[in-house]
A and B are shown apart, each in its own frame.
Chain A
Amino acid sequence: MKCCHDGRKENIFSKFFKRIQDANSLQSYAKRKLVLVGTPNVGKSVIFNKLTGAYATVSNYPGTTVEVFRGTSRIGGELFEVIDTPGMYSLMPITEEERVTRTLLLNESPDIVLHVVDAKNIERMLSMTLQLKEAGFPIILVVNMMDEAERIGREIDLEKLSALIDVPVVGTSAALNRGMDRLRKKVAEYVKKRAA
């Protein structure tokens, strides 16, 4: 369903995703690389769409993204190549799609990794945040679906969380466009700080 697996642009799917291909042509100018990772069905593709304006299929079931998806976005005056990845449960891959994501993380040396998690199930997802941190990736934790968590009566102290795991944390409801500006700001700040 997705296109643009590295170096395989010849396949028949590439032509269906013209818009994304167009974004790809900007790639050579893009200096920074931003990779979206997380378990399936936490909203990586929604965030990808919001950041790039390109379209990745978004749905309410796990595993919609099976190949790597690339687009471009301008964040804080800088050009980013944004990469959407298939879902991954841990840094130790089991399925082929998880392997795709880890290989990408290992080979592309991203400038920033957004670990997207579902606020409702954060206890099952933080483990990978710790693994990513352990591995030394420059990560920001994006706690998505805050609205749904609120609706089931769940409150998360994001500041305290950030202090405990020593990772910048942003709360979003990407589908409702909530928190996206804050996320962009955090990304810009983080990249600037790392460069310094």
Chain B
Amino acid sequence: MLKSELLESHNVFKYDEKIEKAVKEIEKLLKSSYNISKRSIALLLLQEDEEITALVKSRETSFPEISDIIKKTKMLFSEPLYYVITMQRQKKVDEIVSQVVRTRNNSKKLISNWLDKITVQPVTGIPILLMVLYFGLYKFVGEFGAGTLVDFIEGSIFENYISPWVNSAVKTYIPNEAIQELLAMDYGIITLGLRYAVAIILPIVGTFFLMFSIIEDSGYLPRLALLVDRVFKSIGLNGRAVIPMTLGFGCDTMATLVSRTLETPRERVIATLLLALAIPCSAQLGVILGMLSGMPAALAIWASFVALVFIFVGYLAAQVLPGEKPVFYMEIPPLRLPRIGNIIEKTVSRMQWYFLEIVPIFILASVLIWIGRMTGIFDAIIRLAEPVMMALGLPPETAEAFLFGFFRRDYGAAGLYDLKKTGVLNGVQMTVASVTLTLFVPCIAQFSVMLKERGVKTTLAIVAFVFPFAFLAGYMVNLILKTAGVVW
């Protein structure tokens, strides 16, 4: 059989006479060949599918006649044809299903139904969410990952063994001081770039991805979406946006990509903006949790301020951007016991993906910083940034961390972490710096995905908003804390 014949020989069931008559008439008028059956093209035309209509219009001289048939058929029904056709097809499906599917009652259903309920209802759902956040994020990622593990790898292994060894080896074997600085010392590829990547970021991201995979596979996220649907509506998004937003806590770059699952362009822009502004990625989050975990009050201020910004900016954006309000509809998959194999595979593959992404960038950043230092550009930029830092009440060294933040969010956070350890920052300064850095520009990878997904104009507008906003917010936090007379 020829391919075109094959296409036309698949007539499974018939719609009602009026529709079938229109389909037959349209089929006859379709002269050019399509990759799908003419029956299907005719049905899509009747349902006013934009793409197919445009395609047929460009190919068929008889399009006005087709248009007439569609118009006439529409008059025969009180509902839109899309609805009529879908309902007729669904009726057929129900007929088939009633013949092949049988359901016995089962007691296991009850337990999962109960679990289902308590995760979705606000009274029980919010405490469950808080528990997930406290144990999953704060305890496991913040304290264990960013605390215990980082202390061990960075404090014990790097500080005591690797860094001194590399520094002395470089000093002994490489006479050129500039090259020494490129490889080792304060800003070297090995002692800064690789140390940040392996000792600070890796354990944090690893623990985060592990926890995230478990939560993700259990089916909890769609239930969370139901729970927060109402809050999200007020910022112009619907519950569905929970997925890109929660993914953002893993990696904003990935999340910006996933924001295309949102239905309207308006929602996509709002989601992209919020991801760029107020959602810290896992590494950044982990470092900040680790850094502020000694001071619960500072952590609380940071978290509530960022949450406030999230809701405030989202609300504003929803007011400013025109477009229809979203409707919420989502498949809710069953709660499942996560499979260990899948969890491990996913965590490892994400870490691998992440690591392959960050190591070259961290090395590149080290090289750029080295070039900047050798040529004096680095110092010049930091001197330029100093007044800004002063305005935020921060020591001039913090400018370095922000400069790092340009390359990657987490690189900047790791820079702050370093400053905290050396005792340069006090509590108030750390809070201000964390807030500013969280809101500050998206990293290079996220930026490029924004360009690809949302286009140049939107991206530049978002960046132009985020950049001054971050510093203004930091300034305000500093002002508030100062006026309140907070001393940490």
Contact = CB atoms under 8 A, between A and B. Distances in A.
13 contacts: A11-B452, A41-B331, A57-B346, A59-B213, A67-B257, A97-B260, A120-B334, A123-B101, A126-B96, A137-B36, A151-B106, A156-B102, A175-B339
Given A60-B216, A61-B216, A122 B345 contact: no
Given A62-B330, A136-B7, A136-B36, 7 more contacts: A12-B445, A133-B10, A134-B40, A154-B101, A155-B102, A161-B96, A166-B12
Contact of A131 (B89, B103, B219): B89
A62 B103 contact: no
Interface in A107-159: 107, 109, 120-123, 126-127, 130-131, 133-138, 148, 151-158
Nearest to B345: A55
B263 interface: yes
B61 interface: no
A94 B6 CA distance: 28
B99 interface: yes
B36 A106 contact: yes
Contacts of A90: 86
Contacts of A39: 331
Contact of B221 (A61, A66, A92, A95): A61
A91 interface: yes
B228 interface: no
B106 A153 contact: yes
Interface stretch (B137-145, B349-357, B390-398, B405-413): B349-357
A15 interface: yes
A22 B198 CA distance: 27
A24 to B, nearest CB: 17
Interface string B281-310: 000000000000000000000000000000
B207 interface: no
B258 A165 contact: no
Interface in A83-103: 86, 90-97, 99, 102
Contacts of B102: 154-157
Nearest to A166: B12
Interface residues of B, dominant DSSP? helix
Interface string B94-107: 10110111111110
Give the one of A61, A62, A86 with max B CB within 10 A: A61
B89 A136 contact: no
Interface string B68-83: 0000000000000010
A1 interface: yes
A5 B40 CA distance: 27
B342 A58 contact: yes
Interface residues of B, number: 71
Contact of B260 (A64, A91, A96): A96
A164 B36 contact: no
B21 interface: no
Interface string A70-92: 00000000000000001000111
Contacts of B216: 59-61
Contacts of A67: 257
Contacts of A53: none
Contacts of B334: 120, 148
Nearest first, the 3 closest Cβ-Cβ pairs linking A and B are A136-B7, A153-B106, A135-B40
Interface of B: 6-13, 35-37, 39-40, 43-44, 47, 49, 51, 82, 86, 89-90, 92-94, 96-97, 99-106, 108-109, 213, 216-219, 221-222, 243, 254, 257-258, 260-263, 330-331, 333-334, 336, 338-339, 342, 345-346, 349-350, 353, 356-357, 445, 448-449, 452
Contact of A61 (B333, B353, B445): B333
Nearest to B219: A60
A126 B330 contact: no
Contact of A153 (B39, B49, B105, B213): B105
A128 to B, nearest CB: 9
Nearest to B224: A61
Nearest to A162: B100
A125 B336 CA distance: 21
Nearest to A15: B356
Contact of B342 (A93, A94, A175): A175
Contacts of B44: 91-92
A1 B339 contact: no
* Most-contacted residue by chain A among B261, B262, B346, B357 (CB, 10 A): B261
A16 interface: yes
A153 B104 CA distance: 5
A148 B106 CA distance: 12
B261 A66 contact: yes
A154 B334 CA distance: 15
A160 interface: yes
Given A91-B44, A126-B96, A97 B261 contact: yes
A154 B102 CA distance: 6
A64 B342 CA distance: 15
A102 B260 CA distance: 16
B37 to A, nearest CB: 4
Contacts of B86: 90, 127
Contacts of B449: 12
A181 B353 CA distance: 30
- B6, B100, B350: most-surrounded residue (chain A CB, <10 A): B100
Contact of B103 (A86, A137, A154): A154
B40 A152 contact: no
Nearest to A155: B102
Nearest to A108: B35
Given A151-B106, A153-B106, A166-B12, A63 B218 contact: no
